[in-house]
């Protein structure tokens, strides 16, 4: 009978320790990179904004058409896609013509001063 009590005591101790570990374990958290919280596509107007990790605007809604960018995002030099499974399609102008560029999940793009980012569409497809 003593052996059964010891096994029960050990099992209870293990259960208490495991329960305590569950209580103090941090919950799953989404990642962030360069000030861009998941699941956003962040726009940085200038190199210093990018360097210090301070996005000027962010988008997160999946859309079927391009959204025109707000004044805080329009013409950004840097764009980062913090989403893990979705690509971001960007519309931009260069020398008066309109072009489109894909940013894969967790990807970054830098635009030259001759380019102006004007729109975004977030797709649930990961591949570019």
The pLDDT confidence band at residue 24, using thresholds 50, 70 and 90, is very low
What integer pLDDT is reported at residue 117 of this predicted model? 98
Mean local confidence (pLDDT), 96-107? 97
Q: What global pTM score does this model have?
A: 0.75
What integer pLDDT is reported at residue 32 of this predicted model? 80
Radius of gyration of the chain (CA): 23
Q: Which residues contact 39 (CB under 8 A, 6 or more apart)?
A: 30, 60, 82, 83, 84, 86
pLDDT above 70 covers what percent of the chain? Answer: 76
Q: Check: CB of residue 87 under 8 Å from CB of residue 79.
A: no
């Amino acid at each position: 009978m003593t052996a059964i009590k010891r096994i029960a005591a050990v099992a209870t101790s293990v259960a208490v320790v495991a329960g305590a570990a569950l209580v103090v374990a941090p919950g799953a958290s989404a990642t962030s990179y360069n000030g861009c919280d998941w699941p956003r596509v962040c726009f940085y107007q200038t190199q210093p904004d990018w360097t210090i990790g301070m996005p000027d605007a962010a988008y997160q809604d999946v859309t079927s058409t391009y959204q025109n960018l707000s004044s805080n995002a329009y013409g950004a030099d840097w764009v980062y896609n913090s989403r893990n499974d979705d690509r971001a399609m960007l519309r931009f102008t260069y020398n008066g013509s309109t072009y489109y560029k894909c940013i894969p999940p967790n990807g970054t793009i830098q635009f030259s001063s001759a380019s102006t980012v004007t729109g975004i569409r977030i797709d649930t497809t990961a591949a570019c």
